[in-house]
Structure 1
Amino acid sequence: MHVTFGLFLDARQGPSPTDFFNSPLVGRVGFLSLLETYLGLSAPEASFTKRVAVYSGLLRAHDNGAYFYSESLQADSIGTAASLLAWRDEWRLGGWDGSAKSTHPARVKELSAIETAAAGKLPPGEAERLQLVVQALRDSGPGPIKSVHLVDPPEDFPLLWRQVLDLLPAVEVRLPEPQGTGHLRAVQEQALAVLAGHPAGKLGALPDGSVLLVHALAATTAAHWLSAHNSYEPGDRLVLAEDAGDGLDVSLSATGGVNCGFEHPSQLRPALQALPLALELCWTPLDINRLLDFLTHPVGPFSRRARSTLARAVSQQPGIGGEAWTSAKAKLATGEDAQEVADEIAFWLESERWTRNNGVPVDALIARVDRLKEAMRRRLTGESADVANFLAAHRQCAAVHDALTELASQGLATVLPRQIEQLVAHATPAGATNPAAVSHVGCMRSASTPAACIEAADEVVWWMPSTPALPSPLPWSQSEVESLTQLGVQLRDPARELVSLAAQWLRPLLAARKRFVLVCPPPGAEVHPIRLLLKKLLPAIESTAIDLDSAIGSTFIASTAAALAPQPLPTPPRLVQLPQPVQLSDSAQSFTTLNELFNDPALFVLKRVAGLEPTSVLTVEEDNRLLGILAHRVFEKLFEHAAALTWSNPDAVAWFRAEADTLLQTEGAVLLMQGAGVSQQHFRKVCEGAICSLLDHLRSAGATQVQTEVAFSGTLGAVPLVGKIDLLVTLDDKRTVALDMKWRSDNYYAGLLRSGEHLQLALYSSLVEQKNGAAPAALGYFILESGALYITAADLFPKAQVRRPPEGVTVATLLDQARATWNWRKQQLDDGVIDVVPVDPPEDFKGPDGTLPVKGPNSRFDGDHLVLLGGWEQ
């Protein structure tokens, strides 16, 4: 076996023209795994999360309150343990045996004491595994390995890796060399000379175009060019994309190219989001947004159908245990898996919760993680793409489970939110890749790091290099470094790392045989050192750079884009003429549907005839709509008590305060969330004031009964009509008053009465009269925030504010206008004519005499539909 070994070759992607059987190209992870396999040392690898948990226990066990890490451990045990474990692992790789002298600095001595206790307890890391490999190589030899080709200098490797290399046969260093010819070769040699510290020799313009800069204002423009360039000039081409390779693949695929297979590991893959979402349900107050995320997420611990059903209930009534929630559970109780679903709902959603300050019992957390781990395990039998995602999620759950089990064995009783977040983060250090991000037949060769560009290619394209990640300084003091050196520890040298990094940046340039292309990021990004080097060697390179935006239409990039003539945005038509009548359904109309038909028939047709609805996105928002709904529910519950009208105001307020918590938990939990305290207190204050104000009005009027949400049905001429009245008040003389409740906007609703535009109340009056034989004696609005009552008649509610309609405007005249407007709009639809009414319509949109004024649509609520009619500004 002939091994090619480099520090960063684990990131190599390929495909490679020089791949041969038994000649692997590997980095540190790959080579260590290979050595362990052939030396019989393979074993399940302990997760970093488990190691952090063990190390945190060791730190706590030896903490006397005066160690250098004591205060940090108290404030952030997991974070402190992770940082100190990283120190310890780096020292071990440098040859530390865990010892310290009495004269050494305190931090070295204190970590040495921990290291003594860690023997046999801390799961092995890279250093311990390498020590076993060294011992096995000494005992049994290198096995099938015949030679090792290093692409990085030996001094760049940690000490333990150098000890391994010393025991392997035919280890040879072959650093990348210039592969170009002609002018490109001269640039490559000059670049190496600069790296070696020699003065830079300036080269003139390259007549063969072997080194090019490509500029574009947008990455997509450059991606289109690269796709076309590869199609029209196929060849041996290597693309290096460090950060945006996945986006480049998307553009290549969209423009007819072939995916290179760039992988972008992310912790935000759906399968990896399931665990943190599930653990968010442990806390009280319950975060309704996270609950909705848990229920609508594509990956969860139980049936997606069940979670979707519950999500709709939560969106309708944000909470757990309300009417919508109970109805959803009843619906789920009829399925084949009813008992299983019921158990899952009880476990995940209806079980005990804990405060963030006190933390969650570790045993309860282990049970949740174990249950989710089992759910992920059951998904490992599907398609290969799904298995790749769920395998990462299963490992994530297993790592957190192992860490929590370790913490429990150390006697830790509870875990705080920050500790949970850190354990999950350590369990998913890189995340998971997109299973669809695979290389396709005929793709360009690719790499995601300059250090992996060790094989020559005719053309190398470096895709948008920008801010490089530089070596971090050593976190230890000079005296600590010196003491570790005395112990034989060879720590990394940041200055040396920077030199090596510069050499790695040259590898893409050195690998080019015929052409090197640097595609620059859009303006505003940091200039990469490789670009500065090219400008130093080739002062004229910017003047010969290709600007893709200004060159559209040239022979160089004509295949990538065609100039389009500007087109004005369409304007909404005045009307739509159809060749046949618009057929209306026989279903009953409500005020809402009539309002749409009267004020914008096009909107009515889209929503009520064509049945077009925007995509439904389940959300829970802390807005006036929610507050109004909750307030309506308060009054529904209040007047369920027959004696409510006899209660004193203090008694009614006491009742509300006793009921409010349950109502909010089941139907308005968004107001119980962190950060919603002001809104919650405002809601409570408004409801208390509204209850007292309404009861005062009702008592002063001699009300004997109040019905809430009263449904009526009837007709408007020949049109079936339905409605639901918020409050129907019966007075002691048997007369009734119909009231609509609104959260706020006193001036607006009082103005509707004063101007005679209260069509909704007029329709309600008609429905009451048709059913009871007598119309309400008055109509009005009760405003919750102000506690004001506006009605159309005097002498009924002594404390109400009377807002009489104009002379000649009565319920009868409003109903006559509504019938005339219906007939006008119905005739239009019968003729296939659909009015498209703009917002704030001019006078020419009004109907015939005797019809209602045309107000136009409400862009706030109907913007999605208005866009279909050409209202692009919406």
Structure 2
Amino acid sequence: MKTTFGLSLDGCRPSKPVFDHLFCGPLGLVDVLELRLGLPKTAVGVVTRIAQFLKVLEHASSEEDRFFTESLRVDRWGTASRLLQMRDHLRMAGWNGGEMDSAPARLKDFCEVERLAEGRLTTGIADRIERIRGALSRKPQGLPTIECIEAAEHLPLLLRLLLDDLGARFGCDPTYEDAPVGSNLRLVQDCLTGHDVSGQTWNPADDSIIFASAFSEVTLAQANAHLVKSDSPSSVLLSSAPGIILTDALNVLATPAPAMGSPSCLRPTMQVLGLALEMRWDPPDPSVLLQFLTHPVCPIGSSLRHALAKAVSSHPGIGSHVWNDAIEMQREKLRSDEDLTQADLTTRLDRIDSDLAQWIMIDRSPRQTGASGAALAETAKQVGDWAGRRTATSSDPATARHYATLSSIAVELAEILEKIPNVSPEELSIIREQVMGGGTVAGDRESELGSPESPANPGAIIESADSVIWWGFEAHAIQLPMDWTLTERNYMEGIGVHHQTPEVLLALAQAAARRPFLAASRSIVLLWPRQRGLEQVEPHPILTILRASFPSIPIKDLDRDELAAVTSQVKIQRQVKPLPAKKRWVRISPTAHLGSRPEESYSSTTKFIHRPFEWVFYYKANLRKGAFMEINLAAQRGNLLHRVIERLLEDSCPIQWLTVGKPEFDSWLNNLWYTLLEIEGANFLLPGSLTEGRRLLEDARRSIWELLGQMRKAGVVSAEADVHEDPLQMEDTTIRGNIDLLATNGSGRLAVVDLKFGQAAAKRSELAKNTALQLATYSHLIRSKHGGDWPATAYFILRNSTLLAQDASFFPDARVVPCKSLEPGPEATWHTFLDVWRWRRGQLDAGWIEIPDKGIEPTDGEGDSPSSTPPHEEWQTDVKAPRYDDYQFLTGWEVNP
């Protein structure tokens, strides 16, 4: 069998299959020889070898200090990875692992490590080559005839010796068809093959070779797609840069596209493993839990995980009353499904329990101390098993490949982790990233019938082609050997260990870069962007070499349409249409879409009165921000303090709020706080948020003790928190409310208190203008239920421990906010609100929607539009108050003067 060998030919195949002719690189050659010689294949993943080598290094360091001992303490996996790479390079450079007498200290340490590694480190490619060379010494028959397209001096020493043993011929350059004499391409080919080109000039009218650039990769991809579409079937598309943009451009032109997807470990399927492992840490990170539950690929049933995600979004943690209610609601939904048989019902209920036990309610380990590798391996195995099942059941081949890749990665990671006693979060992240490597390409990126050949390395172009298009003609970093000092290198040279020098590596890269130019028989186009991201992109260094001989080589700018035949810009004259300007009123028809709703709340009535466009968008058009977008920290602080008050006022509370002393209260709060954070505020237990969590605890300690003092001085004898009242008829709808605190004093008088974490200035303004609608609504609901006088009202601001009221008749120590109204109190507030409600209802019934916003003048009702002034002027919307508007781009744009 004839074999063509090249350093870039692993995975390469000729355009036309040739019988009994193999094209391969180092890995392919080693695999073939092991098969021919009957040697067992012992190749394993790189990370498995790193894990093995790490144990060897730790053993070596335990005996005495080594040059890597301190690095090993700081970064075990990073150090092991780097040292294994150095060790493998040493072996490839000719070191046989034996002792090096009088060697420098670092090399002596490597000798000791190699002695300890015997039998404990799986063979790498250098070790496999050594084993093959040993088998070749027995002079076996039937070995392949090898032609090496590389120069012998460009190869690593051990690989060169192997090829010598096989009788290979070196420097067997591929046979290419020359470009036409007199063309610019022929000039370049002559230059690169060492011919004398002095005195010959560049022909500006010849387009056999084109260097082109653009600022945007999108522009470049569109030009490239036009070139591919118009080119001959025997063209080659060399893609040495990410090619997803180019593939999309080809698809737009309905042109067959090669598989050019960039590998990534951030594909949705790949992310499941990382999220599942992150949930093994204590305290659990609510943001990670939310990502896991809302991820498009998740092992938990969709109905359950969406319900749990909503609970986590409002109450960050595991085990809150909202969390438990969500689980029970899912069970009740299944029990009420009459279409389910008893067997199906049992299966689905068991699925809920198993999902929770397997993925959520799991044993967790403290981040500070790390977790046992066996525990983390258990999660990795679970992910692997789940992905394996999905591989077998996925009908889409691309999706099945992603699951198969994830299963393989998870199983390998589990095998590595279960052998490690303890793993820190940082180490887990490093190990997982190393196992995942580049990840996988998008599953739907496959070569389409009729697409051009698309190698990724210029050194792999070993056949002639009519034309070559080089996508990504840009400079790439060459990793130069900088591991060893000059003294160490001189010593190794003296004992026959020869590393590749920077000069050799540069010559090797230059030789590979020549091949696309030599392979093109008609034309070659070389494309690169001027910028990628925020970084400048330099063209390939071979352009500098060519310009030394041909200074006038032009570089076409595709942004200026300098490549007219394949221009990426289509200039279409379109009339400029301005964005709609903001206006105060919008009228729609039919008005039935703006009718009353069956039920309203304080928050919805506030939108209805002050920002009716929000009420229409939110409740009628159902345009709402996603429920799982983020954790609302501002609302969470208030919710946590609310929950403390609820626990304090419960009958089962171990302390009696009416009589408890400060030390006993502080002790109770300290015991409650951590448990409360675990189920509703786990984000405050994470590194970086601990200080904020402690600050919130002090806010709770100070403000709630002040609230107790206010209630005691007011003679409160009973108090209820989070009181839910039934809806009450209001005009053509009903209104409901949940009251934060309902207090009763010794004389039987009631008071409703609304708890706010902040907003002190806004609430003072409401009390002063007698527009505190929330308090009036709650007072009206309680009065309608219990009869008698309207309950007293107050706001309690938790952040600054202040109780605000219009008078001190109920709370004698309240901070009184004088009311400007002639009739202060919730009764007057409620009746004026009803007038404003009818006014706004009449506008909506007529189809008018007001958009009160800054920069839009209110109307007086004289023209076609209604008046912006409500029946009671104190209810006028304050458009200057700072407020985030979810719908700001749906209500028009400010007109620039």
TM-score above 0.5, yes or no: yes
Measure, in 1, the Cα distance between the counterparts of 2:565 and 2:121.
64
Measure, in 1, the Cα distance between the counterparts of 2:691 and 2:50.
40
Residue equivalent to 2:259: 261
Residue of structure 2 aligned with 1:853, choices 867, 870, 876 = 876
- C-alpha deviation, 1:693, in angstroms: 1.0
- C-alpha deviation, 1:499, in angstroms: 1.3
- C-alpha deviation, 1:591, in angstroms: 1.9
- Stretch moving more, 376-385 or 86-95: 376-385
Question: Helix, strand or coil for the counterpart of 1:520?
Answer: strand
Structural mapping, 1:198-217, within 5 Å: 203-217=201-215
Q: Does 1:483 align with 2:496?
A: no
- C-alpha deviation, 1:277, in angstroms: 2.3
Question: Helix, strand or coil for the counterpart of 1:581?
Answer: helix
| Closer/same/farther in 2, CA of residues 240 and 553 from structure 1, 3 Å limit | closer
Measure, in 2, the Cα distance between the counterparts of 1:690 and 1:127.
70
Q: Does 1:360 align with 2:371?
A: yes
Residue equivalent to 1:540: 552
Paired letter, 1:827: G
Measure, in 1, the Cα distance between the counterparts of 2:571 and 2:38.
58
Residue equivalent to 1:634: 644
Paired letter, 2:616: V
Residue equivalent to 2:387: 376
| Closer/same/farther in 2, CA of residues 719 and 394 from structure 1, 3 Å limit | closer
| 1:600–1:856 contact (8 Å) kept in structure 2 | no
| Closer/same/farther in 2, CA of residues 201 and 485 from structure 1, 3 Å limit | farther
Residue equivalent to 1:493: 501
Q: Does 1:729 align with 2:729?
A: no
Measure, in 2, the Cα distance between the counterparts of 1:786 and 1:546.
66
Paired letter, 1:788: T
Residue of structure 2 aligned with 1:835, choices 813, 826, 850 = 850
Question: Helix, strand or coil for the counterpart of 2:212?
Answer: strand
Q: Does 1:87 align with 2:109?
A: no
| 1:768–1:775 contact (8 Å) kept in structure 2 | no
Residue equivalent to 1:648: 661
| 2:148–2:168 contact (8 Å) kept in structure 1 | no
| Closer/same/farther in 2, CA of residues 134 and 696 from structure 1, 3 Å limit | same
Q: Cα deviations across residues 486-518 of structure 1 (Å, max 9, x unaligned)?
A: 433232222100111122222222222222222
Residue of structure 1 aligned with 2:452, choices 430, 444, 453 = 444
- Stretch moving more, 718-727 or 452-461: 452-461
Question: Helix, strand or coil for the counterpart of 1:638?
Answer: helix
Structural mapping, 1:459-608, within 5 Å: 459-523=467-531, 525-528=536-539, 529-542=541-554, 545-551=555-561, 557=567, 560-572=570-582, 574-582=585-593, 584=595, 586-608=597-619
Q: Cα deviations across residues 770-815 of structure 1 (Å, max 9, x unaligned)?
A: 2221344432211001001110123322221111321335444433
Residue equivalent to 1:123: 122
Measure, in 2, the Cα distance between the counterparts of 1:562 and 1:258.
27
Question: Helix, strand or coil for the counterpart of 2:706?
Answer: helix
Question: Helix, strand or coil for the counterpart of 1:843?
Answer: coil
Residue equivalent to 1:763: 777
- Stretch moving more, 835-844 or 626-635: 835-844
Residue of structure 2 aligned with 1:161, choices 159, 162, 169 = 159
- C-alpha deviation, 1:855, in angstroms: 4.6
Measure, in 2, the Cα distance between the counterparts of 1:247 and 1:449.
18
Residue equivalent to 2:438: 430
Measure, in 2, the Cα distance between the counterparts of 1:562 and 1:25.
49
Paired letter, 1:751: S
| 2:467–2:522 contact (8 Å) kept in structure 1 | yes
Q: Does 1:822 align with 2:822?
A: no
Residue equivalent to 1:5: 5
| 2:594–2:616 contact (8 Å) kept in structure 1 | no
Paired letter, 1:415: V
Residue equivalent to 2:188: 188
Q: Cα deviations across residues 592-625 of structure 1 (Å, max 9, x unaligned)?
A: 222222233333222212323334434335x221
Structural mapping, 1:102-117, within 5 Å: 102-117=101-116
Residue equivalent to 1:175: 173
Q: Percent identity?
A: 27
TM-score (norm 1): 0.91
| 1:777–1:793 contact (8 Å) kept in structure 2 | no
Q: Cα deviations across residues 302-327 of structure 1 (Å, max 9, x unaligned)?
A: 54554444333222211112212222
- C-alpha deviation, 1:21, in angstroms: 4.4
Residue equivalent to 1:793: 807
Residue equivalent to 1:868: 890
| Closer/same/farther in 2, CA of residues 344 and 546 from structure 1, 3 Å limit | same
| Closer/same/farther in 2, CA of residues 637 and 180 from structure 1, 3 Å limit | same
Pairs aligned (count)? 859
Q: Cα deviations across residues 229-266 of structure 1 (Å, max 9, x unaligned)?
A: 43345554333332321222123324544322113222
Question: Helix, strand or coil for the counterpart of 1:725?
Answer: strand
- Stretch moving more, 95-104 or 348-357: 348-357
| 2:723–2:742 contact (8 Å) kept in structure 1 | yes
Structural mapping, 1:333-348, within 5 Å: 336-348=347-359
- C-alpha deviation, 1:553, in angstroms: 12
- Stretch moving more, 492-501 or 448-457: 448-457
Measure, in 2, the Cα distance between the counterparts of 1:558 and 1:156.
41
TM-score (norm 2): 0.89
Measure, in 2, the Cα distance between the counterparts of 1:90 and 1:555.
49
- C-alpha deviation, 1:127, in angstroms: 1.6
Residue equivalent to 1:226: 224
Residue equivalent to 1:241: 239
Measure, in 1, the Cα distance between the counterparts of 2:50 and 2:467.
45
Measure, in 1, the Cα distance between the counterparts of 2:200 and 2:625.
62
Measure, in 2, the Cα distance between the counterparts of 1:661 and 1:780.
30
Paired letter, 2:417: L
Instruction: Name structure 2 gaps, 5 residues minimum.
Output: 335-344, 860-866
| 1:779–1:791 contact (8 Å) kept in structure 2 | yes
Question: Helix, strand or coil for the counterpart of 2:121?
Answer: coil
| Closer/same/farther in 2, CA of residues 797 and 309 from structure 1, 3 Å limit | closer
Paired letter, 2:87: R
Measure, in 1, the Cα distance between the counterparts of 2:488 and 2:537.
35
Residue equivalent to 1:410: none
Measure, in 2, the Cα distance between the counterparts of 1:561 and 1:25.
47
| Closer/same/farther in 2, CA of residues 576 and 555 from structure 1, 3 Å limit | farther
Measure, in 1, the Cα distance between the counterparts of 2:568 and 2:325.
62
| 1:39–1:143 contact (8 Å) kept in structure 2 | no
| 2:740–2:755 contact (8 Å) kept in structure 1 | yes
- Stretch moving more, 291-300 or 301-310: 301-310
Measure, in 1, the Cα distance between the counterparts of 2:792 and 2:821.
16
Question: Helix, strand or coil for the counterpart of 1:231?
Answer: helix
Measure, in 2, the Cα distance between the counterparts of 1:731 and 1:142.
105
| Closer/same/farther in 2, CA of residues 693 and 30 from structure 1, 3 Å limit | same
- C-alpha deviation, 1:67, in angstroms: 1.9
| 1:591–1:723 contact (8 Å) kept in structure 2 | yes
| Closer/same/farther in 2, CA of residues 553 and 148 from structure 1, 3 Å limit | closer
Measure, in 1, the Cα distance between the counterparts of 2:587 and 2:4.
72
- C-alpha deviation, 1:576, in angstroms: 2.9
- C-alpha deviation, 1:694, in angstroms: 0.6
Q: Cα deviations across residues 548-580 of structure 1 (Å, max 9, x unaligned)?
A: 333399675277453544432223453132145
| Closer/same/farther in 2, CA of residues 254 and 862 from structure 1, 3 Å limit | farther
Q: Cα deviations across residues 358-386 of structure 1 (Å, max 9, x unaligned)?
A: 22123323333333332233233134323
Measure, in 1, the Cα distance between the counterparts of 2:217 and 2:329.
50
Question: Helix, strand or coil for the counterpart of 2:437?
Answer: coil
| Closer/same/farther in 2, CA of residues 164 and 89 from structure 1, 3 Å limit | same
Question: Helix, strand or coil for the counterpart of 1:491?
Answer: coil
Paired letter, 1:831: A
Question: Helix, strand or coil for the counterpart of 2:774?
Answer: helix
Paired letter, 1:187: L
